[in-house]
Amino acid sequence: MAYPFERTLRSLNGYESGTRVLLVVMVTIAVGGLAVWAAAAEVPVMKVSSQGRVEPHNAVYRLEPPAAGRVVRSMLNLDQDVKEGDLLIEFDTRSERLELEQSKTTSVALEQELSVIREQIANKREELAASGLVDEVAVREAQEREGELVPRNRLAKQRAQLAQQSPSGSISELEKLERVTEVDALDSASRAQSLAVLRLRREQAVRRQTLTAQVLGLKREELRAEGQQRELKVAVDRLEYQIEKKHYRAAASGRLVDVVELGAGAFIADGQRVGTILATDAQVRVRARFPKEMVGLIQPGQTAQLKLDGYPWTIYGTVPARVARVGTEPGIAATPEAIPGTVRVELDIRAPSDPRIQLRHGLTATVEVEVARVSPIALLLRAIGEWHVTEAAPEERRARAFQAESEAR
């Protein structure tokens, strides 16, 4: 049965009106849902650092010999277990050994010289003691001789007195004169003997002073030799210390995780890093560098995730972590551990979900720290504000520079 054309067109118009209503309703629901999500949902705000590194906590020992030198022998082998005190590098010590041998030879000769000086001192002291005994006997002998003259002098004086008192003619005048002369001679002999005793005492004192001066001179020589001996002992100890320092040894027990190829004759500068020892049973952590502006945003206890470069996260997934410590002093000089303008952040690692992941020293990673959760609208407004600040920064810098130049003028 055929329908008129007007009725068919009217039917189509009715169908299109229902479709439009349905589309309007669906769009309205979608926009409303999007608005609710933008206002009520929470989106994590992540701060990302690509300068993350897995390291054991206080268990990494850098091999940096304190003194420069030429290598004679190297025992550095990658992934080798070492014990504390094991010899790792032996430097050239020929000059130190020659100087040490010379110092030891001089020390032996000086020790012999010191023995001779001490023997001379002992002999001089014995001579001084023996001389004192001899002098005592000599003085006693002189005193005895002086004592012998006393009774003779007394007898001569009595005879002279008797001669003077005798009757005239009993003794001749010549005999009287002889007796008086004998008294004078004995008096002179007594005085001479007294002077001889005094001279002997003074000679003995001079001789003792001479011997004492010789002993003091020898003692001075002994002290000088002992001082040189101590100096040589210090020099020997210093050379032995330098030689021992040229035998660079392991500071701790562990495994060599990084070494430098050193052949015989290679030269090492002061403080040059030649390897790294990782202590056994070390607890690993993550060290990351963030811009200094993140100091107020990143706090201990915040959750984070690691994307290990050695284990692509698209295959192995991410590793959970938590912020443990946050530094506040930005680096100034560029070093392997510090980048200028960044602060250090340490994170504790949790067990990875994929058992194939082996957390080892030296693994690099991208660190993502969740610092807050905000709604999408707030996140959009924050992004617009940051963009505005970034655009306005050059103008602000120019204004500050102009102000500083004006103040300087």
Q: Check residue 11 and give its pLDDT.
A: 54
Distance, in Å, from the CA atom of 259 to the CA atom of 275, rounded to the nearest integer, reads 4
* Domain spanning 63-92+246-268, CATH class: mainly beta
- Please name the amino acid found at residue 90: E
What is the CATH architecture assignment of 41-57+283-403?
A: Beta Barrel (2.40)
Strand order in the sheet with 275-279: 60-63, 275-279, 254-259, 81-82
CA nearest neighbour of 356 among 400, 404, 316, 307: 316
pLDDT along the chain (409 residues), means of 10: 50 59 79 69 78 81 83 86 88 88 90 90 85 77 71 70 64 67 73 77 83 88 90 91 86 84 83 82 83 83 89 89 86 66 87 85 87 71 56 46 46
Pairing type for strands 81-82 and 247-249 reads unpaired
Token pair 């990143």: residue: 298
pTM recorded for the entire structure? 0.53
List Cβ neighbours of 249 (8 Å cut-off, separation of 6 or more). Answer: 84, 85, 86, 87, 88
- Is residue 318 within 8 A of residue 89, CB to CB? The reply is no
Domain boundaries, the chain: 41-57+283-403, 63-92+246-268, 95-244
Quick: pLDDT tens for 297-307. Answer: 888 988 899 99
Instruction: State the CB neighbour count (10 A cutoff) for residue 84.
Output: 13
Instruction: State the CB neighbour count (10 A cutoff) for residue 243.
Output: 15
HSE (CB half, 13 Å, CA atoms) of 80? 12
CATH topology of domain 95-244: Helix Hairpins (1.10.287)
How deeply is 394 buried, as exposed, middle or buried, from its count of CB atoms within 10 A (0-12, 13-18, 19+)? exposed
Quick: pLDDT tens for 75-103. Answer: 888 888 888 888 888 888 888 899 989 99
Alpha carbon 217 to its chain centroid, in Å, reads 44
Instruction: State the CB neighbour count (10 A cutoff) for residue 85.
Output: 10
Phi, psi of 4 (to 5 degrees): -70, 155
- The token duo for 27 is 């769009």
Domains 41-57+283-403 and 95-244 share a fold: no
Distance, in Å, from the CA atom of 157 to the CA atom of 164, rounded to the nearest integer, reads 11
Q: Check residue 136 and give its pLDDT.
A: 79
